[in-house]
């Protein structure tokens, strides 16, 4: 049964490299989202709906139900996919992003969502400016530099329409979560600066998922990769 790992913003598949080293799962797929380490296909508008359609197509191409995992925006897409296409999923896991009708976007997201302001913010997103922010969030400095160096103009151009399509994502995608029946686990960094434990707990409660809290922040796949892998392996082992 393949494991399918979905990164978030502003990342690429490399977010999962350290987790993959600790996984017992042998068959692991971790694609780049369009615009994130790969070209944006013609006609792709980088909205949340476009990324959801892309993810559905990628999982369909596997040819069998997957153990799907998402972080940050990848988490939101995984939660939506398991809501609308449970046939594609054996189990799901998500963290550092929880769809919730009451969630208010964090300040950086709100700036990205504002025309003109978001473009100015992107101009200031240089490697020198980004690395200290990542490190302050708990990311190891070497990893922070790796991720910051991958943030290019193509990625910036994808981020803005994605966030602008999602100003009301909680109200639009939240209600369907109550129908989720597939086995799930919600992974939460207890020091997450962008999504508090309360939202992760609410997601776990309404979907019947297990809640796993790790002693780190938003970037738990690179901060605590061994612990994250152990949580995923335990989750998968419980489902037969």
pLDDT higher than threshold 90 for residue 1? no
- Paired with 3 in beta bridges are 28, 67
Find all residues with CB under 8 Å of 81, minimum gap 6, and list them.
Answer: 52, 55, 56, 59, 68, 88, 89, 92
Whole-model pTM? 0.97
Confidence band for 65, pLDDT divided at 50, 70 and 90: very high
What pLDDT does residue 26 have? 82
The structure tokens 């972080």 sit at 71
Per-residue pLDDT averaged across 57-64, rounded?
98
Phi-psi region of 231 (alpha: psi -120 to 50; beta: other; left: phi over 0): alpha
What pLDDT does residue 25 have? 85
């Amino acid at each position: 049964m393949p494991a399918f790992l979905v990164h978030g913003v502003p990342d690429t598949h490399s977010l999962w490299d350290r987790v993959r080293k600790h996984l017992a799962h042998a068959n692991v797929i971790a694609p780049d989202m369009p615009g994130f380490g790969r070209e944006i296909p013609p006609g792709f508008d980088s909205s949340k709906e476009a990324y959801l359609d892309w993810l559905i197509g990628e999982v369909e191409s596997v040819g069998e139900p997957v153990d799907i995992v998402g972080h940050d925006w990848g988490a939101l897409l995984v939660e939506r996919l398991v809501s609308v296409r449970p046939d594609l999923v054996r189990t799901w896991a998500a963290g550092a992003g929880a769809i919730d009708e009451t969630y208010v976007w964090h300040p950086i997201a709100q700036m990205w969502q504002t025309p003109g302001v978001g473009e100015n913010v992107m101009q200031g997103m240089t490697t020198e400016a980004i690395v200290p922010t990542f490190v302050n969030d708990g990311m190891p400095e070497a990893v922070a530099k790796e991720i910051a160096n991958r943030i290019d103009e193509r990625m910036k151009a994808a981020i803005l329409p994605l966030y602008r399509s999602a100003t009301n994502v909680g109200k639009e995608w939240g209600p369907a979560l109550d129908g989720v029946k597939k086995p799930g686990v919600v992974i939460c960094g207890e020091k997450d600066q962008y999504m508090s434990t309360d939202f992760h707990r609410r997601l776990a409660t309404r979907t019947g998922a297990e809640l796993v809290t790790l002693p780190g922040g938003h970037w738990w796949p690179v901060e605590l990769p061994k612990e994250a892998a152990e949580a995923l392996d335990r989750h998968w082992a419980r489902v037969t």
